[in-house]
Amino acid sequence: QVQLVESGGGLVQAGGSLRLSCEASGRTFSNYAMGWFRQAPGKEREFVAGISWTGRFTSYADSVKGRFTISKDNAKNTVYLQMNSLKPEDTAVYYCAAQASGFGSTQYEYDYWGQGTQVTVAS
């Protein structure tokens, strides 16, 4: 079992930056690929970014490429999402997720989820 706790959400003006953190506890964090997803009101949960268990490989949704960066610190059991040049359409609840095998971009491939953190981008 892996427990995930997100932090770092908040209200920011368009063009601003936020860094989300997700701290993991439980089983060996370094063995898991990690992902960030988001869900806006009335919309389905969507993939934002993913990172392999080694941290060597990353993937991003087209909508955030060049603006968001995912990173993983296995020593701190933490995955980060640096979000720059934020837009109002980035407003959503952001979820951290852990995947025991593989390196996927759909929510169905992930085994553990955090409770989410709200990000609101004002225009």
Over residues 25-64, the pLDDT tens digits come to 887 777 889 999 999 999 999 999 999 988 899 999 999 9
The mean per-residue pLDDT over the stretch 78-97 comes to 97
**Backbone angle region of 110, left / alpha / beta, with phi > 0 → left and psi within -120 to 50 → alpha:** beta
DSSP for residue 102: S
Write the burial class of residue 33 (CB in 10 Å: 0-12 exposed, 13-18 middle, 19+ buried).
Answer: buried
Residues of the chain with pLDDT > 70, as a percent, come to 99
Which pLDDT does position 65 carry in this prediction? Answer: 98
Q: How far apart (Å, rounded) are the C-alpha atoms in residues 98 and 23? A: 11
- Per the CB < 8 A criterion, the answer to whether 45 and 39 are in contact is yes
**Residue 105 vs residues 32, 36, 42, 57, 108: alpha-carbon distances, Å:** 14, 9, 21, 13, 9
The pLDDT value recorded for residue 31 is: 84
